[in-house]
Chain A
Amino acid sequence: MVIEQEKMRSLASRLGQEEVRGRSPWTDARKRFVRNRAAMTGFVILVLVALFAIFGNGLAVWSNEDLDFEVMGQVATLGQPSLANGHYFGTDDLGRDLFARTVQATQVSLTVGVVGAAIAVIVGTLYGATAGYVGGRTDQLMMRIVDILMSIPYMFVLILLLVMFGRSITMLFLGIGLISWLDMSRIVRGQTLSLKNREFIEAARAIGVPSWRIILRHIVPNLLGVVAVYATLLVPLMILTESFISFLGLGVQEPLTSWGALISEGAGTMNYGTLWQLAFPLFFFCITLFGFFFVGDGLRDALDPRDR
């Protein structure tokens, strides 16, 4: 009897806590997200890929720069994936370990994707929120600039930049960052327009909070949902852009490598029967894009349950 009462008391207190904590829209969204099987699969894939990028080097027997002279020159016959000599994914046509190279490519591509998306989020959010909040002629001008920039064939301009100012990873970040925020700023502006006439903004204005502070403290936090969804969908686009550039040989330069560069290499050498050089980078590339798309879709559904 005593035990029963103990149990009941703990249950009651837990329920009480539950009641006090309440359910915020974010908790709801998290529940919906966790229940969405495709989104969770995507999330697990992304976690695994990230772990691969972080800890992959610890598993690798070879470093990404060492040439294996045993297989060099006979890559088609000796360089295939094998556990015996430590080349889990085989070697590339110079005899470098493809496992270590893939780890490195994953690090580079993920970094480019995340940093590119981060630039887009920061610049695009601030720009869009400012344009939307200030409104009037400033808004007109700022959005017209975005219109103009959008009608420029950005991939060509990016290549132009890379050729003229040297093919460095900084330039790549800069170039991708320059173009990626445009869509974001439009979305954010639209959202800001609907936020700015709400009471809490009015209240903030009434007590004399300066505009920049209203934008940073009251508008931006309320944009978080849209921004989060869009950022998740932006990362794969950035990865695609970088891979595209690297496929053309204009992206990251040796000894650095990325998925696009590895896919390009693999595509170039597949005539010689070294299919693993294409297959492994392609596999990681595809599952990561899948993961981001699924998580992005899942986030959207979770944050916007009306649309289901």
Chain B
Amino acid sequence: MFAYVLRRMAVAIPTLLLLIVLSFVLMHLAPGGPFTQERELPAQVLANLNAKYGLDQPLWRQIWNYLYGIVAHFDFGPSFVYPDRTVNQLIAEGFPVTLTYGALSFLFAVVVGVALGVVAAIRQNSFLDYLAVGISIGAQVLPNFVMAPILVLVFTLWCGLLPGGGWSFSDPRFWVMPVIALGTSYMASIARITRSSMLEVLGSNHIRTARAKGMPEHRVVIRHALKPALLPVISYLGPVFVSMITGSVVIDIYFSTGGIGKAFVDSALNRDYAVMMGVTILIGALTILFNLVVDILYAWIDPRIRY
């Protein structure tokens, strides 16, 4: 197990380096630098700016400095557009917000999705089952950017119950819509996956044995059926995590929550390459880390898997 973790790390680190180098090279291939404006800057000013941000040095030197900054001081450098802000500051502002509603949506998707799937599987072909299947099919075509306007329409414009945007760490009313908008389609997918794998497990031999020896049904479901049924769900968690981070861009834009997605899109529109790269790298690192955690979790739940 330990060796497996080490081996995975050995792949993860080059991947991350590749991502950094790739985005760095892309940035240099792109036509127009960060200081390209409608009114052309005087050559001397441009030269000074380039010197200040180290853009006058050879490419390998810049990459090296950038990497060194990240590895040695966890420093992503200054923002190209806001002279008094560093990328670290911009990320530190947005990240807690994204983390809060992201974690809540993740919990929402997993808990509600699994519960819905299990109930649907136990009561197969009942009203509850049809309801669960209906919800999961409907939610499949309602991605976050479709869900967000619909929620605002219903809860803010028609019912006037929830604030249509903004963020506050102390007021949960601000959390509701981002969490639902971000989590719904994954909740639906998790419900579908849980239902079908639960149905498969419930029909297997060891469940029949457990029932035959007179074990109460709730124990059969929780102790014997749920654990193997969750395996496909766990392997789905990696992609869910990635899509949720991506989806947070929409949430930040639509609900003005001020998370990390806003920093990303703002920097994309301002051509603030430093911030874009910082966010991309951070998210790449998180993704790789999370996939590792999922794989370890998988091995822990399913003792048949040996690495």
Give A contacts to B, CB under 8 Å: 144, 147-148, 151-153, 155-157, 159-166, 240, 243-244, 247-250, 260, 263-264, 266-267, 270-271, 275, 278, 282, 285-286, 289-290, 293
Contact = CB atoms under 8 A, between A and B. Distances in A.
A155 B149 contact: no
Contact of B280 (A144, A151, A153, A249): A153
A18 to B, nearest CB: 37
A151 B141 contact: no
Interface stretch (B61-69, B87-95, B229-237, B263-271): B263-271
A270 B280 contact: no
A159 B249 CA distance: 11
B250 interface: yes
A289 B31 contact: no
A218 B180 CA distance: 48
Contacts of A165: 30-31
B143 A267 contact: no
A162 B264 CA distance: 13
Given A165-B30, A293-B137, 7 more contacts: A147-B11, A156-B283, A156-B284, A266-B149, A270-B152, A270-B157, A271-B157
B140 interface: yes
Chain B facing A: main interface SS: helix
A293 B11 CA distance: 35
B272 to A, nearest CB: 10
A267 B276 contact: no
Contacts of A152: 15, 19, 284, 287
B100 interface: no
A213 B161 CA distance: 65
Interface of B: 11-12, 14-15, 18-19, 23, 26-27, 29-31, 137, 140-143, 145-146, 148-149, 152-153, 157, 242, 245-246, 249-250, 253-254, 264-265, 268-269, 271, 276, 279-280, 283-284, 287-288, 291
Given A153-B280, A159-B268, A267-B254, A247 B145 contact: yes
Contacts, number: 102
Contact of A247 (B26, B250, B280): B250
A278 B15 contact: no
A264 B144 CA distance: 12
23 contacts: A148-B14, A151-B12, A151-B287, A151-B288, A151-B291, A153-B287, A155-B246, A156-B264, A159-B276, A162-B268, A166-B31, A243-B143, A243-B145, A249-B269, A250-B265, A250-B268, A263-B146, A266-B149, A267-B145, A267-B148, A267-B152, A270-B153, A278-B153
A153 B149 contact: no
Contact of B284 (A153, A162, A163): A153
Contacts of A260: 145
B280 A156 contact: yes
| A interface, over-half SS | helix
Contacts of B14: 148
Contact of A293 (B140, B152, B153, B268): B140
B294 to A, nearest CB: 12
A160 B26 contact: yes
A282 B146 contact: yes
Contacts of A270: 149, 152-153, 157
Contacts of A267: 145, 148-149, 152, 254
A153 B27 contact: no
Contact of A151 (B145, B279, B284): B284
A267 B250 CA distance: 12
Contacts of A271: 157
B209 to A, nearest CB: 25
Cβ-closest 6 pairs across A and B: A164-B30, A267-B149, A289-B141, A155-B246, A247-B145, A163-B268
Contacts of A263: 145-146, 149
B27 A164 contact: yes
Contacts of A289: 140-141
Nearest to B29: A164
Contacts of A144: 11
A243 B264 CA distance: 18
